[in-house]
Amino acid sequence: MLRTVAALSAVAVLGAAPPVPARAATDQEQIRAVLEGMNDAYNRFDFAGFAEYVCAAMREADGFEADWYSSRRVDGPTRITVGSVAVSGDPASSAVANVRFEAAEHTETLAVDFVREQARWRACRYHPVRAI
């Protein structure tokens, strides 16, 4: 669990900057920007900035903040590589991005689920990528 929290925590974008506006770019570009911002906030040890990019259900989950800090201390700086981004719904209301996370002690690829909340894309769940 700690490693999974670390991986999502590594997914941060542009620190304390607010999430990307819903129609500033394509949905795929917005999601990539969210992931970059999450990773940037994570690397700056900025929980508040990171939390701006996750959905309410995740932010409000018991232990989320404590797990984030614990994971960040263990991971150190991280790098991400965003693979595919698939958007669904009409209008677009959900998406999934495949993201490779690299930390000093581990590397993993996760599928990160996104939802549109308050007209902004927010990361909401992550799970191992399933091979077909």
Q: Is residue 16 predicted with pLDDT exceeding 80?
A: no
Instruction: Report CA 31 to chain centroid distance, whole Å.
Output: 9
Instruction: Compute φ and ψ for 28, nearest 5 degrees.
Output: -60, -45
Q: Is residue 14 predicted with pLDDT exceeding 50?
A: no
Average pLDDT, the chain: 85
Identify the pLDDT of residue 109: 94
Q: What is the pTM of this model?
A: 0.80
Helix (H) or strand (E) holding 37: helix 27-43
More confident residue, 41 or 118: 41
**Percent of all residues in the chain with a pLDDT value above 70, rounded to a whole number:** 80
Domains along the chain? 2-128 (3.10.450.50)
What's the Cα-to-Cα distance from 53 to each of 16, 104, 114, rounded to whole Å? Answer: 10, 24, 10
Q: Angle of helix 27-43 relative to helix 2-9, nearest 10 degrees? A: 110
